[in-house]
Amino acid sequence: MAEQKKEVLLKIRDLKIQGYTDETWIDIIKGVDLTLHRGEVMGLIGESGAGKSTIGAAAMGYARDGTRITDDSSIEFDGMELTTASEGERRALRGSRIAYVAQSAAASFNPAHKLIDQHTEAPLQYRIKKRVEAQEDGVELYRRLRLPNPDEIGFRYPHQVSGGQLQRAMTAMAMSCRPDLIIFDEPTTALDVTTQIEVLAAIRDIVEQFNTAALYITHDLAVVAQMADTIKVLLKGNEVEQAPTEEMLNNPKEDYTKSLWAVRDFTSPQRYRPKDGVPLISVKNVDASYTGGAKVLDDVSFDIYEGMTVAVVGESGSGKSTTARCITGLLPPSKGEILFRGEPFEPDYRKRPREQLRQCQMIYQMADTALNPKVKISEIIGRPAQFYSGLTGAALKNRVDELLDLIELDPSKFYNRYPPELSGGQKQRIGIARALAAEPTFIVCDEVTSALDQLVAEGILRLLDKLQNELKLAYMFITHDLATVRSIADEVVVMQYGKVVEQGPKDDMFKPPHHPYTDLLLSSVPEMDPNWLTTLLEERGVDNVGDAASAKMAEQSK
Amino acid sequence: MGDILGLVGKRLGLGLIILLVISIIIFFMVELLPGDIAQAVLGQGATEENLAALREQMGLNKPAVVRYLDWLSGAVLLDFGTSIVTGAPVVETIGTRFMNTLFLAAYAAVIAVPISIILGVLVALLRNTIFDRAANVVTLSFISSPEFFLGYILILYFAVKWQMFPAISSLSDNMTFLELLERTFLPALTLVLVVMAHMMRMTRAAIINLLASPYIEMARLKGTPPWKVIVKHALPNAWAPIINVVALNLAYLITGVVLVEVVFVYPGIGQALVDSVAKRDFPVVQACCLIFAATFILLNLAADVGAILTNPRLRHPK
Amino acid sequence: MFVLIYFVFLTVCFLASAYFNQRTAFMLTFSLFMISMILFIVGGDAALRSVAIGAALLAGAAAVSFGFKEFLVQMADGDAGAFLRGGMMLPVMGVFALLAFASAYLGWGVTEVFITLVVLALILAPMSPDFAKELRTAPLTAAFGMFVIFVVSIMAIYAPLIAPYGEAEVISSAFAPRDESLLLGADQLGRDMFSRVIYGARNTVTLALLGTTLAFILGAMAGLLAATKGGMFDQAMGRTADVIMSIPSLIFALLMLSIFGGSLASPSTSFYLLFGFAIIVGLLFLAAAAEGAMGWVIGAAVMIGAGLAFAAAGTTIFDASEVILILVVAVIYSPRVFRLTRAVAGNVVVMDYIEAAKLRGEGNWYLIRREILPNSTADWGSMVRENATLISFGDPTPLIPAAAIALLTIAVNFVVDWMLFRSSGLKEQ
């Protein structure tokens, strides 16, 4: 994190970008200024739709399909005005002096070519290196980015390499011509917490080593705190505030910035299970696998009591969603059983009577696939009420209005709308209403806030908490985000590779001593302290973080 | 490698099964064709005893399943029985005709495939320009027109008004290769026009679809010049859909052949089929149908297998 | 003289377009100029005339299309279809359709009037300012297509009123040339070509429409069911579709027509075939919708009743060979509809909202009707394009009718192309 004043590399003034939707051009970016010095890392933070990625592309003089940069904007890179330069001149900058690291490495690598070939493409094209030289440099970069088997990993195809490794390979590819500026577009958003650490460490290292300037685009505040020297906040295409990192974290000036920082403050009070009492849902020694495959769940057991929230945490592939599928009956367990108030549930949902089916409801992660875009809201919510309680006509309409009120949406405005007209947060609320319409006792929340922006997610969590208090609902909250767990959970179940690694009341879980995996998981979540990453690496050593550590643990426990 | 072999093997097996089912369908459909075989051979004035004797001799009194199996076992060895009309073995009759049809199809394919792919790529690159729009209108018109209509138009202009090529494509034993090309030009052209239109549109759609992929944008952001983006990044991934398109259109050529051969009176297997159906020459009908079906299935199979083989994920498994 | 005027006219055109900065006009006129020049040098006067006529025809077609499009836009802008929306459309159409049937059956002689009203309702319904916006951006080719379809439909409905002579009336010598009464001359039997083309429009369009409709019902039913039920059923349906698709369609049609159209052709065969078709569709429907033994029993009864009615209606309206043709088209076309429906429904079935509905305990029929169907209608348009040439099944017909068929097919394809372009929402710049 360089401190000295260096010369200006990128100067953007009054940037205006328009996007083409529904046959008209509308403003996406409405006049943004940006100044970046050599070797400086600036974090661009904002919610989705704020236009961060578009600005990132514009810094390269590139307008994405369906967008255009208006004439009165000024983008000056190292003295060259990009808006008036020819396409040839702009293209000459890309890859050689300005590089781009995309959000999804898996989609951004060409599946038909080896990694190293794609890496050497830019240096060869710009005649900076010869092929063998470029390949050796690539291997060296892989080594510096701490990729396993740096000598041979480049000679693989993208689909043969894991997500986190691909992201680092893409960073290496961006470095291949030693550019002056790299644009990182949400590089770790799609990765697990433990994977993310390694990528963050790698990126920060290499940017420092080569003194490259960077624009780091993300919506994750804690991440940006680790990576950037300066932070700029965006909201709906407008600048809100800009300041050096420390100052921004400790002393935000604008209200919007303050609200972003405050997001992680919501906590619901801890509940404890009753001394005696039958758990509402009891998962007992469940094994499960998909047809003919290996075991996906191995001896999973935990209980959920009425009116309480059990958070099931783990990384992708840990078996959290699979357990939910066993409980709802979509995947009958191969061993063990699911009990409801002490009585076993039919393993296959098709054999369950309606009364059993109504007890368990599910809310999904992606609202786009969770709601039928061609069905009216009133019917989406009304159908379960009609189906289970036999309500019709005026009674049904009242119930739907009631439910809309419960989820804090105005019935007169939303009754006749369709899902595509709603925002992400509103759609998720409809999903909640649909679940409530069946009057269940237990709801599975499958990563319901993971696809939402921080502020919106907070709103959903508060709503769920309120509903839980009013209606005595039990939740199984599946998530990979520990901050959410801290906010809303009463009990926590940690899963890894299909096994339950640790479980217990929330308060206990967040205090040491833990199971080493829980420890790893907890420590991998970025904090709002700019020195968090540095401290973590110093304390644990580079080899004991991230995927490498987690894999080691799995080996040892076998 | 084992993955691929397994997948290809399964497709092959499936293809064989489908062929088997189709052979059953063909056999029994032809059985249903009106007309008595014995009657057709002996003519109107035959006596009942003669008819009965002939039926016995031709094995027409055996149960259907037995006859089917007889036929199938013969077919596998390329013995399709004897033609009712000519009395000669069916293989002889349609052997040369099949070769003729293959020649015509090959002639059309050799012209159509390279041009279509190149044009398809060009149109994808120049999408939404006048060139693209004009090409769209022209190809759509060609696809929509029935082959016989195109054939007639071509005959009208090239053969009748401008007298550049013969209207009827008769073949004789002692023509030179050049003469052969000249005589079969019009039917080949008809086929080319329709098939090329299809292939061009599908190639265009496949490439445009590809161009929307994130890795293409990435290539652009690395400063790769547009031509290189197409050639180095898009094309290697486009082979799968293009091969699929080509194979399917080659399969389509087989059906297009029948109408074209009839219009131009070309001595191919399509013409043979139409004639034999009219003359109730059942063994020939069955043989022709089977050959058509087999070629069709084979080419569809090639399309599927091609898609499997060009998928980088399958070629280089984890 | 003509040559001079022609080239001068073209030169003026492209110079004017260059001056007024109209790029498209310039490109068109300039390329026409170059092409005409080359052809004139190569082919002389005659070639130039052909080019000029061709260009004039194209220009004329473009003008007519533009005019027609404007007409439609005006109607849409004026919200002509307002009173038909909101559930009125089907009852109105139903009433008129019934009246049309009654008229045909009871010989009132005003059948055409009611059919016109039905078609009018169908056309007017979507006319709204929103639709006007869509129409304005439609390419000229789509407008041309719509115009052709419009003309053909008029020909089809009003055939008896437009055609000067009957379909099979022999009124002159074979191959008589054109004159005032015989607009297109006579065919090989001395029948008026013009009348035959008009009646042909009616026959072809009806057969094509019915065949395609039946194919859609069969294919879509099978596809939806295969996607919802999955498993063995899905596999079996898929393989059957593969087998049908593997038979070259023309060969199959040829054989079927020969078998059933020849001496076997009789009203009873058609009846059985139609009934059989109805039963197959009915069985698919039952497999989707029926719940429990009672459901199957009632369903079977309804199925048999409906099948008998369908077969009876079919045999009275059409003669044997027409029935065969319709069924052949239906069978040949249905696998493609199946494949597409299966693919689209397959994409919908994996959505979370389907899972939510299943977990609720909803039955297959609800899933198909309320959840899957609304999401799959857009893609069916692409089906029409791929096999529009099915309209041309039958004997190779002489040039003019063939041209008419080609024109209609081209027209349909243009319109479908536009619809597809709209629904895929491409925003390429």
- CB-neighbour burial class of residue B90 (10 A; exposed 0-12, middle 13-18, buried 19+): buried
The region of weakest confidence among A246-260, A440-454, C90-104, C276-290 is C90-104
**Residue A307: pLDDT above 50?**
yes
Mean pLDDT of C117-121: 80
Mean pLDDT of A343-358: 88
C409–B146: do the CB atoms touch at under 8 Å? yes
The pLDDT of residue C422 is 63
- Give chain B's length: 318
pLDDT in tens, B142-163: 877 777 778 888 887 787 777 7
Report which listed range, B233-237, C22-26, C421-425, is most confident.
B233-237
Instruction: Report the Cα–Cα distance between both ends of chain C, in Å, rounded.
Output: 45
- C-alpha torsion sign, points C11, C16, C19, C21: negative
SS3 A431: helix
**Which amino acid, residue B304?**
D
Bigger pLDDT: A293 vs A344 = A344
The pLDDT of residue C86 is 62
Mean pLDDT of C408-415: 72
Q: Which residues of A touch B312 (CB under 8 A)?
A: 111-112, 157, 159
**Residue C419: pLDDT above 70?**
no
Q: Rounded to whole angstroms, how far apart are CA atoms B130 and C28?
A: 9
Report angle CA C336, C342, C346 to the nearest 5 degrees.
155
Report which listed range, A398-402, B38-42, C282-286, is most confident.
A398-402
- C-alpha torsion sign, points A320, A326, A330, A336: positive
- C402–chain B Cβ distance below 8 A for any pair: yes
Beta carbons of A207 and A192 less than 8 angstroms apart: no
Q: Which residues of A touch B228 (CB under 8 A)?
A: 125
C353–A328: do the CB atoms touch at under 8 Å? no
The pLDDT of residue C393 is 47
The region of weakest confidence among A119-123, A198-202, A377-381 is A198-202
* Mutation for testing the B interface, residue in A96, A108, A162, A166 having most B CBs under 10 Å: A108
- The model carries a pTM of 0.75
- A107–chain B Cβ distance below 8 A for any pair: yes
**Residue C402: pLDDT above 80?**
no
C355–A330: do the CB atoms touch at under 8 Å? yes
**Residue C127: pLDDT above 50?**
yes
Band (pLDDT 50/70/90 cuts) for residue C395 is very low
Q: Residues C215-224, buried b or exposed e (16+ Cβ, 10 A)?
A: bbbbbbbbbb
* Mutation for testing the B interface, residue in C57, C250, C260 having most B CBs under 10 Å: C250
Beta carbons of A426 and A419 less than 8 angstroms apart: no
| Adjacency order of strands within the sheet including A295-304 | A295-304, A281-289, A335-340, A343-344
Mean pLDDT of A377-386: 91
Q: Rounded to whole angstroms, how far apart are CA atoms A50 and B196?
A: 47
Mean pLDDT of C412-426: 63
Q: Which two tokens stand for residue A216?
A: 């780091």
Q: Which two tokens stand for residue C317?
A: 């309206």
Omega before A513 within 30 of 0, i.e. cis: yes
Band (pLDDT 50/70/90 cuts) for residue C191 is confident
Q: List chain A domain ranges.
A: 2-262, 281-525
Please give the residue of chain B at the shortest CA–CA distance from C263.
B34
What average pLDDT is seen over chain B? 80
Q: Rounded to whole angstroms, how far apart are CA atoms B148 and C14?
A: 38
Mean pLDDT of B213-234: 88
Q: Rounded to whole angstroms, how far apart are CA atoms A479 and A461?
A: 12
Please give the residue of chain C at the shortest CA–CA distance from B35.
C263
From the list C206, C121, C98, the residue with the least C-alpha distance to C159 is C206
**Residue C387: pLDDT above 60?**
no
Backbone angles phi, psi at B175, to 5 degrees: -90, 160
**Residue C383: pLDDT above 60?**
no
Q: Which two tokens stand for residue B110?
A: 């050799």
pLDDT in tens, B7-33: 888 888 888 888 888 888 878 777 776
A387–C361: do the CB atoms touch at under 8 Å? yes
The pLDDT of residue C427 is 34
- B277–chain C Cβ distance below 8 A for any pair: yes
The region of weakest confidence among A48-52, A391-395, B211-215 is A48-52
Element (H, E) at A408: none
C359–A387: do the CB atoms touch at under 8 Å? no
A445: β partners: A363, A477
Backbone angles phi, psi at C138, to 5 degrees: -70, 140
DSSP assigned state of A333: -
% of chain C beyond a pLDDT of 70 = 85
DSSP assigned state of A495: E
The per-residue DSSP string of C213-251 comes to HHHHHHHHHHHHHHHHH-HHHHHHHHHHHHHHHHS-HHH
Beta-strand runs (E) in A467-521? 474-479, 491-496, 499-505
- B86–chain A Cβ distance below 8 A for any pair: no
Torsion from C-alpha of B224, B227, B231, B232, nearest 10 degrees? -10
Q: Which two tokens stand for residue B125?
A: 């690159």
B236–A126: do the CB atoms touch at under 8 Å? no
Q: Residues A272-291, buried b or exposed e (16+ Cβ, 10 A)?
A: ebeeeeebbbbbbebbbbee
pLDDT in tens, A336-346: 999 998 889 88
Q: Which residues of B touch C399 (CB under 8 A)?
A: 149, 152-153, 156
**Residue B58: pLDDT above 50?**
yes
The pLDDT of residue A139 is 93
Q: Rounded to whole angstroms, how far apart are CA atoms C388 and B79?
A: 38
pLDDT in tens, B278-308: 777 778 888 888 888 888 888 888 888 887 7
- A551–chain B Cβ distance below 8 A for any pair: no
Band (pLDDT 50/70/90 cuts) for residue A169 is very high
Mean pLDDT of C327-335: 85
Q: From the CA of C125, how many Å to the nearest CA of chain B?
A: 29
Q: From the CA of C230, how many Å to the nearest CA of chain A?
A: 15
**Residue A234: pLDDT above 60?**
yes
**Residue A184: pLDDT above 60?**
yes
C406–B144: do the CB atoms touch at under 8 Å? yes
Q: From the CA of C220, how many Å to the nearest CA of chain A?
A: 19
- C250–chain B Cβ distance below 8 A for any pair: yes
- A87–chain C Cβ distance below 8 A for any pair: no
Mean pLDDT of A463-478: 92
Q: Which two tokens stand for residue C175?
A: 């191959």
Q: Rounded to whole angstroms, how far apart are CA atoms B58 and B282?
A: 13
Bigger pLDDT: C348 vs C80 = C348
**Which amino acid, residue B59?**
G
**Which amino acid, residue A431?**
G
Q: Which residues of B touch C402 (CB under 8 A)?
A: 146, 148-149, 152
The pLDDT of residue A445 is 94
Q: Which two tokens stand for residue C261?
A: 């159209």
Nearest neighbour of C396 by CB, restricted to B18, B148, B255: B148
The per-residue DSSP string of A100-167 comes to EE-S-HHHHS-TTS-HHHHHHHHHHHTTSS-HHHHHHHHHHHHHHTT-SSHHHHTTS-GGGS-HHHHH
What average pLDDT is seen over chain A? 86
Instruction: Report the Cα–Cα distance between both ends of chain B, in Å, rounded.
Output: 11
A446: β partners: A478
Beta carbons of B18 and C246 less than 8 angstroms apart: yes
Q: Which residues of A touch B221 (CB under 8 A)?
A: 57, 60, 62, 94-95, 99-100, 102
Q: Rounded to whole angstroms, how far apart are CA atoms A281 and A304?
A: 5
Q: Rounded to whole angstroms, how far apart are CA atoms B167 and B263?
A: 9
Mean pLDDT of A15-33: 84
Given a contact as 3+ CB pairs under 8 Å, which chains touch B?
Answer: A, C
The pLDDT of residue A435 is 93
**Which amino acid, residue A418?**
Y
Beta-strand runs (E) in A341-490? 343-344, 360-363, 442-446, 474-479
% of chain A beyond a pLDDT of 90 = 26
The pLDDT of residue C396 is 41
Q: From the CA of C123, how many Å to the nearest CA of chain A?
A: 24
A375–C371: do the CB atoms touch at under 8 Å? yes
* Rg of chain B taking only CA atoms, in angstroms: 24
Beta carbons of C215 and B261 less than 8 angstroms apart: no
Report which listed range, B105-109, B242-246, C367-371, is most confident.
B105-109
Given a contact as 3+ CB pairs under 8 Å, which chains touch A?
Answer: B, C
Q: Rounded to whole angstroms, how far apart are CA atoms A184 and C380?
A: 42
Q: Which two tokens stand for residue A518?
A: 């829980």
Bigger pLDDT: A138 vs C393 = A138
Q: From the CA of A552, how many Å to the nearest CA of chain B?
A: 21
Q: Which residues of A touch C361 (CB under 8 A)?
A: 352, 354, 357, 387
**Which amino acid, residue C70?**
E
> What kind of architecture, by CATH, is found in domain A281-525?
3-Layer(aba) Sandwich (3.40)
- A366–chain C Cβ distance below 8 A for any pair: yes
Cα distances from C146 to residues C123, C135, C149, C197, in angstroms, run 11, 11, 5, 19
DSSP assigned state of B157: I
Beta carbons of C141 and C417 less than 8 angstroms apart: yes
Q: Which two tokens stand for residue B30?
A: 């032809």
- A95–chain B Cβ distance below 8 A for any pair: yes
Mean pLDDT of C54-59: 82
pLDDT in tens, A130-166: 899 999 999 999 988 888 889 989 899 998 888 888 8
The pLDDT of residue A109 is 92
Q: Rounded to whole angstroms, how far apart are CA atoms A320 and C241?
A: 39
Q: From the CA of C306, how many Å to the nearest CA of chain A?
A: 30
- C-alpha torsion sign, points A76, A81, A84, A90: negative
Band (pLDDT 50/70/90 cuts) for residue A115 is very high
Cα distances from A507 to residues A215, A275, A490, C268, in angstroms, run 38, 18, 8, 82
Beta carbons of A281 and A304 less than 8 angstroms apart: yes
- B240–chain C Cβ distance below 8 A for any pair: no
pLDDT in tens, A207-216: 888 889 999 9
Q: Rounded to whole angstroms, how far apart are CA atoms C415 and C152?
A: 14
**Which amino acid, residue B122?**
L
Q: Which two tokens stand for residue C88?
A: 């009125």
Complex ipTM value: 0.77
Q: Rounded to whole angstroms, how far apart are CA atoms C266 and C35?
A: 56
Q: From the CA of B136, how many Å to the nearest CA of chain C?
A: 10
The region of weakest confidence among A31-35, B255-259, C50-54, C177-181 is C177-181
Please give the residue of chain B at the shortest CA–CA distance from A174.
B222
Please give the residue of chain A at the shortest CA–CA distance from C371.
A372
Cα distances from C381 to residues A29, C141, C337, in angstroms, run 38, 17, 10
Beta carbons of A179 and A96 less than 8 angstroms apart: yes
pLDDT in tens, C208-242: 778 878 888 898 888 888 888 877 888 888 888 88
The pLDDT of residue A400 is 92
Beta-strand runs (E) in A194-323? 213-218, 230-235, 238-244, 281-289, 295-304, 309-313
Please give the residue of chain A at the shortest CA–CA distance from C352.
A370
Band (pLDDT 50/70/90 cuts) for residue A557 is low
The pLDDT of residue C397 is 47
The pLDDT of residue A312 is 93
The region of weakest confidence among B176-185, C112-121, C245-254 is C245-254
Phi-psi region of A445 (alpha: psi -120 to 50; beta: other; left: phi over 0): beta
- A64–chain B Cβ distance below 8 A for any pair: yes
B212–A62: do the CB atoms touch at under 8 Å? no
pLDDT in tens, A65-106: 778 888 888 898 988 898 888 888 889 999 889 999 988 888
Axis crossing angle, helix C140-157 with helix C23-77, rounded to the nearest 10: 50
Q: Rounded to whole angstroms, how far apart are CA atoms A113 and A2?
A: 37
**Residue B2: pLDDT above 80?**
no
Domains A2-262 and A281-525 share a fold: yes
From the list B131, B77, B274, B264, the residue with the least C-alpha distance to B189 is B264
* Mutation for testing the C interface, residue in A369, A375, A432, A445 having most C CBs under 10 Å: A369
Q: Which CATH superfamily is domain A2-262 in?
A: P-loop containing nucleotide triphosphate hydrolases (3.40.50.300)
Beta-strand runs (E) in C345-396? none
